[in-house]
Amino acid sequence: MPTPTALKIFKALKHQISISEIAHLLGLDHSTISTSVSSLVEEGLAQKHREGKKTLIRRSDTLHARSLEEFMKEYPRLPIDDLFSYSSMEILSMLMHPHNITDIAAMTALNRHTVSEALSKLSKYGLILKEKGKFVINKRHRQLADFIKNYWRHFANQRLRAEDAVMLWQRGPEFLFKTQNEPGKTIERDDIHASAITVFSRYGLRLITGTRYYFYSRRRLTVEDHIIHTILIDPQNPIYNSYAAGLIMQSGAKNLPDAARIYDLPEHIESLLEYVLTKKKNSNFVLPWNEFMDIFDSIKVS
C-alpha cells in the first residue's frame, strides 16, 4: 500500500525526474525518497531507470496509475496523501455498493473506530455519500472508483500463487481464484484458504474434480463463506448453485443472510434459501427439486 510520502512523490511526478530532484523538491532526505520510490514501483504506480549516475522516476502506465493521475487532474486540491491510507483504500473498495458501518467492519476486519474515522474523512471531501444509513462512493467521482478497482486488481494479480491461477471474483484485497490440482501440493498459507467445493469433504460431501479453489483473505473463513464462494464460481450456473444448496442442507448454516450482504448477494441467497425451504424451483439458477436431489444424493457421503 503506498505510504503518504509515496503519494506525495506520485503527485510531484508531473514529468520524469531524478531522486535527488524529488528530495530537494519535497525537502526530504535521499534515503526516505528512495524507499518511497521503491514502494511506488512495487505498487505499479511508478517506473524508474538509470541514466548515467542518475536514477530517473516517472509515473507508470498501469491502469491504476493512469486512473489516479486523472483523478488528481480533476481534483488537484484534494490531499490524496492523507485520504488514501491503507484503511481508506480498503474501505473504498467495499463502497461500490452501499454498506453500513457494521458490514464494512466485518468485510475489512477493521475495528469500528477505524472505519468510522475513515468514513468521516472521506465524507468531508465528498468522496462518499451516506444514503439511508449506508455509505457509497459518490457517483460523480468515476475516476476514484476506477482507481480503487484497478489498484486492487493489480494487488490481486501480484499475489496469485500459481502460474495457472484464474481469478473468479475480487473485491478490495480479497479474491477467489482457481488452479489445477496437483496431488500432494497445496498453496495454502495464513492468508490463502482452500474454499468452495474444495472443502466439501469437511462437511461430509464428496466431489471429484481436478480444480482447486482458494480465497485470499486475512479473515478466518466460515461455512457461509464456503457456500457463497461455491456460488461465485459461476453465479448463474444451476450446478454450482445445487452444490451450494447441498452444503446449506448438510451444514445447517445459520448466518447466510448476514454473509450475503458482505458479498452483495442478498437477493441471490434469499432466493436460494427459499428454494431449499419450499423445495420448488424459483429461479433460472436452480434445478427442478428432483434433479437437485439426484445431485445431492450422489455427493453425500453415506
Give tens-digit pLDDT for 91-109.
999 999 999 999 999 889 8
Within 13 A of 77's CA, how many CA atoms are on the CB side? Answer: 2
Class of domain 4-59: mainly alpha
- pLDDT at 183 exceeding the cut of 80: no
Choose from 20-24, 104-108, 128-132, 225-229 the range with maximum mean pLDDT. 225-229
Long-range residue pairs from 276-285, CB within 8 A, at least 24 positions apart, any chain: 276/245, 276/248, 276/249, 284/236, 284/238, 285/235, 285/236, 285/237, 285/238, 285/241
**pLDDT interval class at 186 (50, 70, 90):** low
Mean pLDDT of the chain: 92
- pLDDT at 185 exceeding the cut of 70: no
In the chain, % of residues over pLDDT 90: 72
- pLDDT at 184 exceeding the cut of 70: no
**What pLDDT does residue 243 have?**
98
- pLDDT at 299 exceeding the cut of 70: yes
- Residues 9 and 19: beta-carbon distance below 8 Å: no
Top pLDDT among 273 and 160 is at 273
When pLDDT is averaged across residues 215-236 and rounded to a whole number, the result is 96
Return the CATH fold of 63-148.
Answer: Arc Repressor Mutant, subunit A (1.10.10)
Distance CA 2, CA 19 (A): 17
Taking alpha carbons only, the member of 70, 108, 106 closest to residue 92 is 108
The reply to whether 4-59 and 63-148 are identical in fold is: yes
**pLDDT interval class at 161 (50, 70, 90):** low
Distance CA 49, CA 52 (A): 10
Q: Domain ranges in the chain?
A: 4-59, 63-148, 160-299
When pLDDT is averaged across residues 298-302 and rounded to a whole number, the result is 89
- What is this structure's pTM? 0.88
pLDDT tens, residue by residue, 9-68: 999 898 899 988 998 888 988 888 989 999 999 999 999 888 888 889 999 999 999 999
